Amino acid sequence: MNKISGYRLYIWSENPDELQKFYKDALELEPTASLKLSNDYGYGFKITDVMRLWIGKHSEVKGRNKDPFRHILNFYVEDVFEWYEKLKDRMDITVVQTPIETPLSKPENRKYVFTFLDPEGNCLQFMNPA
């Protein structure tokens, strides 16, 4: 059987040059690659040793995401509140949910989630590790 052997997250944009700045500067993701062809270009970022994010140009994507909650990128971090404090006053994001305790939270191991939209309306969450 031909099994799935890997994955990469893609965010398509009308203007990846601008969107990639947010992921590099605000989210502090490490740039790993860029591609600049006439009709195909974008930027790669390292999330973990095995997970990568690609922000690229797509001819069918125009403007902001019209259905931001269909797909949510969930980033696991140790301190959700630290990320909330860092991002909450940025003019280029929309806070959807301030940090709240998740249903999986337990008194001995509290779990929190913070949800927001990036500059193009893509939904992201910061959550404590499972």
pTM over 0.85: yes
Q: Which CATH class is domain 64-130?
A: alpha beta
Residue 61: exposure state from Cβ atoms within 10 A (0-12, 13-18, ≥19) = middle
Read off the pLDDT of residues 30-73 as tens digits, 9 standing for 90 and up.
Answer: 999 888 877 778 999 999 988 999 999 998 999 999 999 999 99
Q: What pLDDT score was predicted for residue 66?
A: 94
| Segment 89-130, tens digit of pLDDT | 999 999 999 999 998 889 998 999 999 999 999 999 999 987
* 64-130 has the same fold as 1-63: yes
DSSP alpha helices (H): ranges in 1-130? Answer: 16-21, 80-87
Nearest Cα neighbor of 53 from 71, 26, 73, 37 is 73
Q: Give the model's pLDDT for residue 42.
A: 95
Domain boundaries along the sequence of the chain: 1-63, 64-130
CATH classification code of 1-63: 3.10.180.10
